[in-house]
Structure 1
Amino acid sequence: MQNSRARAATAAGFLTQGLILLSLTTRLPDFQDKWHLSDVKLSLVLLMMILLAGVGSVVAETLAKRRDSATLLRSGLLLIAVAVPLLCLAPTTAVYVAGMAGYGIGLGVVDASTNMQAVALEHRYGRPILPSFHGAWTLGGVIGALIGLATAESSLQVSAVVGIVPLVVAFGPFLPRDHGPTELPTEVAVPWRPIILVGIAMVLFYMVDTGVQTWGPLFLDHTFTTPERYVALSALAYLLASGAVRIAGDWLVSRLGVVVILRVGALIGTAGLAVVVFSPTWQVAVLGFAVLGAGVAVVAPLSFSAAARIAGASEGGVEFEPAVRQARVDAVIARFNQFNYVGALLGSVMTGLVGQDSLRIGFAVPMILVLGIIPLAPAFAPKIVAAVSAPRPSAS
């Protein structure tokens, strides 16, 4: 019963994260107009938010050695619940920027701690469940995008209402850490090489993911004579296809295996981007974005799952005590989450710079790079080798 309630609460945390992010990003043009921000200044505000999200993830990594992920998740959600109304109701540009800064830190803490909760629950269930958690994020993103579209003609103050969602979810029955020591007493040998290989694949995913959500609408707008009300379909088609595959992802991974899923998905993703790059009409481009979403949907959840499995492997054939294992995995997951922001920076910056003359060229680069997931796929299902370079942590 505890596991199922914690699973529902964690899924709500993922959904909240996606809902808040997309409900805000769909209204970025309104924020830009209200505060008279140039494209450069708005880009700098977004860069600040991403960098502070990285800081929030580092803070989560540090605190994970002393506090359980349930406490961290509640704290991050409460911070977002304060920051969102602040940036929506801001009376001055400085207050808006401060609200975005607070949201960025909360974003990083929640990103890290939701995945800590998810991998802990997956370990308890003993089967793949990470894809469905990330499917909840995608569902939240779709809801957030629809909220943004529905309130497009309303004042920005209306968007402050979404701050109620993280406030409510913060009091959910999240999974507490197992009884035992709550702090890692000694440094332990973490096999970073295989974790880094998995992290590179996650960078490639978030490069594509952020590129689509940032530049997809502009691709439709600049490349074709797309009606303005339809330019958001690039991101919406991508999210809907991605969400469908993620919801089915638990079953697909159990039946076909992680390596096959990733390799086939990379090929499908490349095909989807090829459709986008060579699309003759905006309708065909939207179809390409949907195919792309279906292809790369499960890379991120499987990345966190693999990193947790590697970090939590036994040392010298001796299993960690539950609390020590969970503290160790939590700290690694928070650090691993940094790959998310590396990919986000590449996707938002590189696609635009390379495609400054033509976004077809901008999307041609990730079309090739996403194939890098194919040789990296075996790192997601490693044969764990016992680490012996550091002493096994004691329970005292």
Structure 2
Amino acid sequence: MTAAPSAATAAVDLGRARLAIAAAFATQGLVFISLTTRLPRIQDRWDLGELALSGVLLMMVLLAGAGSLVAERLAPRLDSAVVLRAGLLVIAVSVAVLVLAPTTVVFVLGLAAYGLGLGLVDATGNMQAVALEHRLGRVILPSCHGAWTLGGVVGAVLTLATTDVPWSAIALVAVLPVLAAAAPYLPRDHGVAATVAETDVPWRAIVVVGLALVVFYSVDTAAATWGPVYLDDVFDAPERLVALATLPYLVSSGLVRLAGDRLTEQLGAVRLLRLGAAIAFVSLAVIVAAPSWPVAVLGFTLLGCGVAVVAPLSFSAAAALAGRDADPATRQARVDAVVARFNQFNYAGALLGAVMTGAVGAGSLRIGFAVPLVLVVALFWLARAFAPADDNPRMGSAGA
């Protein structure tokens, strides 16, 4: 008589946790895109050229990588939900500091703190999503990442709608991570072991999947970071419209991700990734060769469709590899360790996308966008490593 209410309560708790995790992803996306779509304005405010901007972005990415490693250390001890809340609060404070900074030094310090918080939230958000995917026994990572994208869409729309507001008003964005920190995230089963030997993790196979994540983030970060600057510098598009490099990209990416759970079940991860790679290659060629900014915007829109599911399926495949042939205790320790370490591929890709695109494209961003154009070809070969993501994700109860 008590089993049914208990099962119903557990289902409600998992449903609330799914909404909370989606809120964390959406908040991260909204804040990140709110900043990147304002890069032309940031350049003007602090008189930064492409190389200088590449330098501060490099610093931010490196610190994000450090934040992800900190999450790897803290999550087994404190629970990924606790570390996720801390990361959201770090983001809230850092955004307020970098927006309200009175000097360049304070701005750089705020951006550095934001990078650290970015890494904490990236790692623990994905830990939470993977753990929930395992408990539910079905694919949910694409839709979780879709929440990030939809948050980014809201951020881009806000940029378009607030081009004339005082710069200090942008600091109000910091309220959102504070609210997200109060959400009911997925608690870990504290009866599960928190550590696992490094030799137990199949890193060689996971690295191959990680290379696909590098390719994705090189493309994604190039579009999000340099897309607005591309429209501004190459085509002299109206300042109020430069966010259109990012907004259609995010909308198309978000729609595909929201449908990604079902698409993955119907087509399989390998076929879906290869189809996306073909679309991405064509769309990047359109961006590089675009004769006008509306054509470039079309290219960015198609690009969002092509690469949308690479990141979530990468985490699913890595977690599937980590959890194979393991008891529940070992599985949780493996998956948490892998998700945090795997997140480093995110920042390697961000380096290629944000830093190399800007550095190679210092003379012309057309040449800069040739970097992701070349890299995306590798997805055709790397897709075969995603076969584990085609398996049923139910590998027993994974912790948070």
TM-score (normalised: structure 1) = 0.90
Given candidates 321, 329, 332, the residue that maps to 2:328 is 321
Alignment partner of 1:211 is 2:218:
no
Q: How does 1:45-124 map to 2 (within 5 A)?
A: 45-124=56-135
* Structure 1 residues 37-60: Cα deviation after superposition (integer angstroms, max 9, x where no partner): 454443322221111111100100
Distance in 2 between residues matched to 1:101 and 1:223, nearest whole Å: 29
Given candidates 340, 343, 360, the residue that maps to 2:346 is 340
Alignment partner of 1:367 is 2:373:
yes
Aligned to 1:260: 271
8 Å contact kept, 2:153–2:250:
yes
TM-score (normalised: structure 2) = 0.89
> Which sections of structure 1, spanning at least 5 residues, go unmatched?
385-396
Aligned to 1:390: none
Aligned to 2:143: 132
Given candidates 262, 284, 298, the residue that maps to 2:295 is 284
Deviates more, 1:253-262 or 1:326-335: 326-335
Alignment partner of 1:377 is 2:383:
yes
Aligned to 1:295: 306
8 Å contact kept, 2:50–2:362:
no
1:290 deviation in Å? 0.8
Kindly provide the amino acid, as one letter, of the partner of residue 124 in structure 2: S
1:366 deviation in Å? 2.2
Would the alpha carbon gap of residues 185 and 355 (structure 1) be closer, same or farther in structure 2, given more than 3 Å must change?
Answer: closer
Deviates more, 1:361-370 or 1:324-333: 361-370
Question: How many residues matched?
Answer: 379
1:185 deviation in Å? 5.9
Would the alpha carbon gap of residues 234 and 122 (structure 1) be closer, same or farther in structure 2, given more than 3 Å must change?
Answer: same
Alignment partner of 1:196 is 2:203:
no
1:208 deviation in Å? 0.8
* Structure 1 residues 323-382: Cα deviation after superposition (integer angstroms, max 9, x where no partner): x42232111101100101110111122223333444333323422321211111121114
Would the alpha carbon gap of residues 204 and 183 (structure 1) be closer, same or farther in structure 2, given more than 3 Å must change?
Answer: same
Aligned to 1:389: none
- Please state whether the residue corresponding to 2:237 is helix, strand or coil: coil
* Percent of aligned positions that are identical: 61
Kindly provide the amino acid, as one letter, of the partner of residue 22 in structure 2: A
1:270 deviation in Å? 0.6
Deviates more, 1:297-306 or 1:19-28: 19-28
Would the alpha carbon gap of residues 218 and 189 (structure 1) be closer, same or farther in structure 2, given more than 3 Å must change?
Answer: same
Distance in 2 between residues matched to 1:187 and 1:280, nearest whole Å: 51
Distance in 2 between residues matched to 1:366 and 1:185, nearest whole Å: 36
Distance in 1 between residues matched to 2:111 and 2:206, nearest whole Å: 31
* Structure 1 residues 198-247: Cα deviation after superposition (integer angstroms, max 9, x where no partner): 00011011111111122222333343353333332121111111111001
Query: RMSD between aligned alpha carbons?
Result: 2.0
Would the alpha carbon gap of residues 174 and 15 (structure 1) be closer, same or farther in structure 2, given more than 3 Å must change?
Answer: same
Aligned to 2:162: 151
Distance in 2 between residues matched to 1:221 and 1:352, nearest whole Å: 14
Deviates more, 1:262-271 or 1:211-220: 211-220
Would the alpha carbon gap of residues 90 and 365 (structure 1) be closer, same or farther in structure 2, given more than 3 Å must change?
Answer: closer
